[in-house]
Amino acid sequence: MNGVIVVDKPKGFTSNKILGRVKKILNIKKAGHTGTLDPFATGVLPICLNEATKLIPYFNEEYKEYIGLITLGIETDTLDETGNIINNKTVGKIEESDILTCLYSFKGSISQIPPMYSALKVNGVRLYNMARKGEVVERKPREIYIDKIELLSFESPYIEFYVRCTKGTYIRSLASDIGAKIGCGGSLKELKRVSSGQFSIDDSFNLDDIEENKYKIKSINELLKEYKNINVDDDLEKIIRNGKKLIKKYFEHLFIPDLKIKEKFVIKNGNRSIAILEALKSTIEIKDINNSETIFKILRVLNYS
């Protein structure tokens, strides 16, 4: 069993708890998830099984999509509903047009300060451990990018919104900043991740589905379909698996796609993806070098049938 199962994480569980449940249900020893969700959050949690764990660094999950619900007027120390209320303000009259103007002002590149209740480390210590002791330390702003942000509904004091943003964006901080800009403060009440790169909520399964054997695993070939590839025979596959230097001579009779220096690509033998390589030379440069020069670097070798 090699591939990824996309889990629709339920509320109230850590990502690692769900990972453990899936491993137990499927009776597998090796698994890992690609991105942590807070316990109160729900939605897309990709879990890699066996050999697919080797691929985690190579998934394109630059953009993630969320649906969130903000409670205006309520500010908490964690910036979400799980924290202690530190401010409770009157919301007052707000027009939908005011909400739209506010949301659209966050579109594009923005600077965001990570929340104290986060797993980010400062001087080797997790921020949430400091926060639990009542400590507050200076955090450096981080540049993030909001590709899309849309108002889904507004019924005071609740704002439901959709956002597509770069990896590393704190939606709790975004909710708090939106509330502050409106003028009454706010905190995140609900959060659902609806996509993470190639992984979508439409392809997800809940724990009951998995327990009842009603699920589908994304195969390794499917996971790597966005990469360019070179198809090799059994002899060259053996050379790659033995970790030998990949010199031009081995590939001179094969079709090599247009590659840039440091571009990653997939080696296939028929219908099996067997390795991820990195180009040490561009395709143009490869044409002009001698047959004994190393042109590719092995990053991962996959062992599955």
The set of residues, in sequence order, having a beta carbon less than 8 Å from that of 12 and lying 6+ positions away, is 39, 40
- Phi, psi angle pair for 169, to nearest 5°: -75, 135
Angle at CA 202, nearest 5°, toward 201 and 203?
90
Long-range CB contacts (within 8 A, 24+) of 119-123: 119/36
Q: CB of 265 within 8 A of CB of 228?
A: yes
Annotation says 235 is catalytic: no
Of 208, 211, 219, nearest in space to 266 by CA = 219
Instruction: List Cβ neighbours of 160 (8 Å cut-off, separation of 6 or more).
Output: 67, 68, 69, 70, 151, 152, 153, 154
With left for phi above 0 and alpha for psi between -120 and 50, is residue 244 left, alpha or beta? Answer: beta
Choose the catalytic residue: 8, 38, 77, 80: 38
Catalytic sites, residue numbers: 38
